[in-house]
Structure 1
Amino acid sequence: MNFRRSVAVMVAPLLGVLTLTACTTAAGEDDKTPVSLDQDWSAAEPITIDVYDGLANYMGIQGGWFGKIVKDKFNMELNVLAPNVAGGGDTLYNTRVAGGDLGDLIVVDKGEQMDELIEGGLLLDSSRYYDSMKNVAPYDAAVDHLNEGKDGVYGFPTSVSSLKPTEPSEGIDPTFGPYLRWDLYADAGYPEIGTLEDLLPVLKTMQDAHPKAENGQPAYAISLFKDWDGNMMVTAKQPACLYGFDEMGFVLAKADGSEYQSIVDSDSEYVRALKFYFDANQMGLVDPESTTQNYDTMFSKYQNGQVLLSWWPWLGQSAYNTDQNMADGKGFELVPMQDQQIFSYGAEVYGGKQFLGIGSGAEDPARIAAFIDWLYSPEGVLANSSQTMGSSGPEGLTWETGDDGEPVLTEFGTKAFLEGGADVPAEWGGGAYQDGVSALNVNTVLPIDENPATGFPYSYKYWPSYQEATANPLTEDWAAHMGDAKSTMEYLQTNDQVIVAPGSSYAAPADTSEIEAIRSQVKASIIEHSWKMVFAKDQAEFDALLAKMQETVEGLGYATVLEFDMANAKAQNEARVEVASTFQ
């Protein structure tokens, strides 16, 4: 059903404890008359809206340069409500839902959360505004898909893309990969690496040659952490991604649907990774503080040069690849592991995990709809982006169009992005640039997508001018040994070492109460035994712990959850096949 062509829709009765009606707003109960958003919102009465944002890492009024842009364009302030800051977990969400008002602008997960909010009457049917949302128009298919089966337009998808779903969504670097301290790898003579296991002697050579970091602390090839463990030990799942697998509960599913593994099987990629860490620990390559440290502590070790291997580019490179280190030829880069086939998330033509919605009690829903629509415009995409992807910022402040028509960073942009930060001029809102970054922390459009106003990707990291300006001894040496590749992704694609899972926007159904209860016990056992296996005293203990883990989880009902997860993994692949066929 295309809601842009079918604006007038019937509103079904809403169930549940909450009985608010999603269409009862200032616009009038059950009023479906189309509303034009084409007006000067800067002249409207000033308002402050509550933004409930499950991704935000800041709580309070949005300030700085992004806050000023929103204020100037919409005479509106954003009061961000962030569960990540308010103690984490579901407490803030549950409290506000129980009170009948989650927020005026809502950023939460699609699927179960979206359905719950519609059923409870906390989301507005935005059908009457949708036909006027011209910037969202190119992504009609994604909007229709998100609202499929519903009686209106309750949400707008994030991370949409005009790329084909079979194209990688990540851009320069994949999400996963074997990233080593390239300078130390070079010192070792650029040794060949055939398989995952072949990394170990290379890492041993590197660590033996450089046992201490520049701060005098011990350096280890591998450093682990526990605080992201979920269905399994998270750092033991990552090596599976080097061979085209990603997780679906207790299943590892290959990107092309050719293989599915139970993580506790003795020959699974997960158990292979545990054995890899066990062997590494036997060789003295694993940081002994891995069992007690959190992610932040580990990250600081990467910053200090105390860790030599990173499975994620955004960990090792983000922490250690500073301008100064790269100018000195030091930093993390992907190494040429011969049998790798790295998992890549395809572009999501139907959008990502989260969505934007308007609260049913919003005072001025039309203005919020106009703001949402602006977030999909070139100006909005450039100003707003997730904090890990980075936004290029507003034209005239951080970037400008060069004489040759290509976008280039301004002197201010160079300071803000490449030299550790900059103070924003008063006319742009003042304060430190980083403090003014959008607290929404979500992409509406993928940064790798082409900006129709410039003909280049939205993110400055993909601009030729940026890549030329940031060339340094580290990247030049890496390219020289990687076939003159201009980026990691180019190298992987040229050498057929990346496998793309088509972006289908598949969302697995929620666990039943039975599945949830069994999963809770099973995953705790898997995580406990996994950590013990990594630090087992010898091979015999490793094998005994593996057998004990397998026996224990089977006794807890593992097979029941595995069947559920396997069905979801196969349904996900069916969705991938369908979307790849639809958008050839």
Structure 2
Amino acid sequence: MKKMSKYVTTGLLGMTLLGSLAGCGGAAESDTDAASSESGYDETITIDVYNGLANYMGMQEGWFAKIVRDKFNMELNIIAPNVAGNGDTLYQTRTAAGDLGDLIIVDNGQQYNELVEAGLLTDASEYYETMENVQRFDAAVQNLNKDADGLYGFPTSVSTLKATDPSEGLDPTFGAYVRWDLYGEQGYPEIGTLEDLLPVIQKMQEDNPTTDSGKKVYGFSLFSDWDGNMMNAGKQLVTYYGYDELGFVLAKADGSDYQSILDSDSEYIRALKFYFQANQMGLVDPESTTQNYDTLFAKFQEGQVLFSWWPWLGQAAFNTTTNLNEGKGFMLAPIQDQKIFSYGAEVYGGKQFIGIGSNAEDPERIAAFIDWLYSSEGVLANSSQTSGSSGPEGLTWEMKDGEPVLTEFGKQALLDGDGDVPEEYGGGSYKDGVSALNVNTVLPIDINPDTGFPYAYTMWESYQNETTDPVKEDWSKNMGGAESTIGYLEENDQLLVAPGASYVAPEDSSEISTLRNQAKATIIEYSWRMVFAKDEAEFDQLLKEMQETADGLGYQTVLEFDMNNAKDQNEKRVEVAKEFGD
């Protein structure tokens, strides 16, 4: 997910980060016959799914594949640019050939416009009349296609919530998560600012230099494969003070401030100084410059890292039932001056859309499949393990006394990370059968109209009552009795929500694109060098060189373009807050 820093909302709410799907191949002949009978579709079809968010490439397998076969007599062949390597080349090659895929999941804005203009998307207007589930979000559908002469795409991450409501559920997308058990061993020292974390993390590392298996522990472990306009690890820290990126601009959620990332006093440069200081203290993993996300995730699982930028990294990897019951786990650190950026619910949808390829052999069936993805059953089934959505009713959850509750298998699969799926549901491991689409059609925290409860099991009272553990109890006791991270931040006025305006920046011109690519390559290179500078004098010299070199490559021209977009974005946020806010 190299674009994670840009698309972290949908990436973070919808990413399958806990493991790749395994195995390829088609359905057995008996399965196909059964699917034909049950679905009402006589012919089995295999569709190519070009998916810019997918982390798996090949045939969808397991329990989700069985659901799709049974309902549509359809198999999904996932084409994933993230896995293929050079995703831009794959995209250009397939579009040049006139066939990107039968089902397409890519970005709004530039890619939507390109595909419509190139005639690579089907106008689904004739199918829309029967797409009752998608029609619940008609305003979002019309907004996505407002400049086109038909319906070429369907928005993702749509919601019925207020635009000023956080979209994340119990945990924000961003946050400073630390090994809470080790923090507690220090007596819960006060953390006034981000920088005050460093001596706390240092003491954790000194007291716990190795894991139980003898591997070295580091306070911070970085990776580079999600670097974009800047060093991704640096960008994450700016969100703790209410900023998010738009190109080379850091824009505050409430529109009160805009910064050039290269200003000497910007939050981005502050982040680089933070990592530089951490490295001087021996807290940064020396493998940070060469490892990828998968390697990093494995280190979190092993207990080799003490700080996580996101709940869906540290908690997802390390907060297993075993570790939690032993009193070990990641929780949000109480930085006193934090004001964490939160994405508001997107009433017009997120940053990706779903479309039907113009060469699809059975567009009507694909339209029916898309519509199902927006149904209560589809939203629950098309769930990644990190989205919080609950999986198929009967398998992972059931209604009991008028409330949804996890089944014993659901607890095993969703809380412990995996389980063997009964044959009647498709067999195999639960993790390997998770939907490879890796996109939320509807926000998991939205209300399921069939049950009156959120799709996300983490929002259920039954789950919250059953999943107390020593770590959560200790965190709550020391955080004023807070029952969730979002609850704590809201209670303490430490959450800054950017209204969900579904803003898409205009496409870079060829000139801006060229200048941006030149400048960002310099910014990323120098940022890493600054983190690992030998002393403060070298850090300052590298900063000066980065600023001068970037300016010489056209940085200021791109900055002006991005600054205008950032202010336009805020205008849209103000408008949507008035129309769909409090």
TM-score of the aligned structures, taking structure 2 as reference length: 0.91
Tell whether 2:439 aligns with 1:442. Answer: yes
Mean CA deviation greater in 155-164 or 292-301 = 292-301
Identify the structure with the greater helix proportion. 2
Distance, in Å, in 1 between the alignment partners of 2:97 and 2:180 is 54
2:65 corresponds to: 67
Q: Give the distance between the partners of 1:88 and 1:323, measured in 2 at CA.
A: 38
Amino acid at match of 2:524: I
Which residue identity lines up with residue 536 of structure 2 in the other structure?
Q
- Assess if the C-alpha contact under 8 Å between 1:42 and 1:71 holds in 2: no
Is structure 2 residue 347 aligned with structure 1 residue 354? no
SS at match of 1:85: helix
| Aligned mates of 1:420, 1:362 — CA distance in 2 | 36
CA contact (8 A) 1:177 1:311 kept: yes
Task: Give yes or no for contact 1:242–1:340 (8 Å, CA) kept in 2.
Answer: yes
Matches within 5 A, 1:528-539: 528-539=525-536
Structure of greater Rg: 1
| 2:92 alignment partner AA | N
Structure 2 stretches of 5 or more lacking a match? Answer: 1-37
Q: 1:561 aligns with which of 545, 548, 558?
A: 558
CA separation in 2, counterparts of 1:49 and 1:286? Answer: 45
* Whole-angstrom CA distance in 2 between matches of 1:116 and 1:151: 14
Q: Which moved more, 1:321-330 or 1:507-516?
A: 507-516
- Deviation of 1:385 after TM superposition, in Å, equals 2.5
Q: How many Å separate the matches in 1 of 2:411 and 2:178?
A: 27
CA deviations on 1:332-366 (whole Å, 9 max, x unpaired) are 10011110000001111111111111112222222
Deviations 1:422-458 (A, max 9, x none): 2222221121112221111111000000111111110
2:375 to 365, 374, 377: 377
* Aligned positions of 1:79-98 closer than 5 A: 79-98=77-96
Given candidates 378, 386, 389, the residue that maps to 1:388 is 386
Aligned equivalents of 1:421, 1:333: Cα separation in 2: 22
Aligned equivalents of 1:570 and 1:295: distance in 2? 33
Residue 520 in structure 1 maps to residue 524 in structure 2: no
* Residue aligned with 1:163, SS: coil
Q: 1:380 offset after TM fit, Å? A: 0.6
Residue aligned with 1:492, SS: helix
Distance in 2, Cα, partners of 1:568 & 1:159: 22
Match of residue 506, structure 1, among 503, 508, 518: 503
- 4+ runs of 1 displaced by more than 4 Å? none
Give the conservation status (yes or no) of the 8 Å contact 1:182–1:478: yes
Whole-angstrom CA distance in 1 between matches of 2:529 and 2:59: 45
Task: From the superposition, tell whether residues 555 and 174 of structure 1 become closer, same or farther in structure 2 (CA, over 3 Å).
Answer: same
Residues 44 and 74 in structure 1, CA contact (< 8 A), matched pair in contact too: no
CA contact (8 A) 1:41 1:367 kept: no
TM-score by length of 1: 0.91
- Partners of 1:535 and 1:130 lie apart in 2 by 55
- CA-based RMSD of the aligned residues comes to 1.6
Q: Distance in 1 between matches of 2:385 and 2:483?
A: 24
Shift of 1:248: 0.8
> Is structure 2 residue 463 aligned with structure 1 residue 461?
no
Which SS does the other structure have where 1:242 is aligned? helix
* Distance across 2 between alignment mates of 1:357 and 1:44: 24
With over 3 angstroms needed to count, the CA separation of the structure-2 counterparts of 1:198 and 1:501, relative to structure 1, is same
Which residue of 143, 146, 158 maps to 1:145? 143
Tell me how far apart the structure 2 counterparts of residues 73 and 299 of structure 1 sit (CA, whole Å). Answer: 35
Asked if structure 2 preserves the Cα contact closer than 8 Å seen for 1:177 and 1:242, the reply is yes
Q: Structure 2 residue aligned with 1:481, among 463, 478, 481?
A: 478
| 1:67–1:436 CA contact under 8 A, matched in 2 | yes
Question: Quick check: 1:387–1:441 contact (8 Å CA) kept in 2?
Answer: no
Partner residue in 2 for 1:169: 167
> How far does residue 43 in structure 1 lie from its aligned partner after superposition?
4.3
Q: Which moved more, 1:73-82 or 1:307-316?
A: 73-82
Structure 2 counterpart of 1:497, one-letter code: Q
Structure 2: which amino acid aligns with 1:104? D
- Tell me what 1:236 maps to: 234
Question: SS where residue 345 of structure 2 aligns?
Answer: strand
SS at the partner of 2:241? coil
1:550 paired residue among 547, 550, 564: 547
Pair 1:76 & 2:109 matched: no
Residue by residue over 1:74-125, the C-alpha shift from the partner in whole angstroms, topping out at 9 and shown as x without a partner, is: 2222222222233341233222222222222111111111111111111111
The aligned residue for residue 578 of structure 2 is 581
Tell me the SS of whatever aligns to 1:90.
helix
Match of 1:154 in 2: 152
CA distance in structure 2 between the partners assigned to 1:47 and 1:297 by the alignment: 37
How far off is 1:519 after superposition? 1.4
How far 1:465 sits from its partner (Å)? 1.4
SS of 2:195 mapped into structure 1: coil
Larger mean CA deviation between 388-397 and 565-574 belongs to 388-397
- What is the Cα deviation at residue 50 of structure 1? 2.1
Whichever residue aligns with residue 449 of structure 2, its letter is P
The aligned residue for residue 8 of structure 2 is none
Partner of 2:558: helix, strand, or coil?
Answer: helix
Q: Give the match for residue 52 of structure 1.
A: 50
Cα pair distance change 1:581/1:547, threshold 3 Å: same
Percent identity, please: 71
1:180-259 pair list within 5 angstroms:
180-259=178-257
Q: Alignment partner of 1:484: what SS?
A: coil
Shift in Å, 1:46:
2.8
- 1:365 maps to a residue whose letter is P
State the distance in 1 between where 2:454 and 2:427 align: 27
Aligned position for 1:122: 120
Q: What is aligned with 1:272?
A: 270
3-state SS of the aligned residue for 2:437? coil
Assess if the C-alpha contact under 8 Å between 1:386 and 1:441 holds in 2. yes
CA distance in 1, matches of 2:223, 2:417: 27
Equivalent positions of 1:299-378 (< 5 A) are: 299-378=297-376
Q: Distance in 1 between matches of 2:132 and 2:468?
A: 39
- What SS class does the counterpart of residue 508 from structure 2 fall into? coil
Give the secondary structure class of the aligned counterpart of 1:247: strand
Please state whether the residue corresponding to 2:274 is helix, strand or coil.
Answer: helix
Residues 500-548 of structure 1: per-residue CA shift (max 9 Å, x gap): 0111111111211111111122112112221222222222222122112
Residue equivalent to 1:21: none
Give the counterpart letter for 1:307 in structure 2.
V
- Following superposition, the deviation at residue 387 of structure 1 comes to 4.9
Shift of 1:58: 2.4
Cα deviations across residues 313-347 of structure 1 (Å, max 9, x unaligned)? Answer: 11111111111110011011001111000000111
In the alignment, the residues of structure 2 paired with residue 421 and residue 486 of structure 1 have an alpha-carbon distance, to the nearest angstrom, of 26
CA distance in 2 between counterparts of 1:463 and 1:148 reads 37
Query: Which moves more between the two structures, 558-567 or 216-225?
Result: 216-225
Contact 2:385–2:414 at 8 Å: present in 1 too? no
Q: Give the direction of change, closer, same or farther, for the CA distance of 1:79–1:296 in structure 2 (3 Å limit).
A: closer
Quote the Cα distance in structure 2 between the aligned partners of 1:531 and 1:361. 44
SS of the residue corresponding to residue 438 of structure 1 reads coil
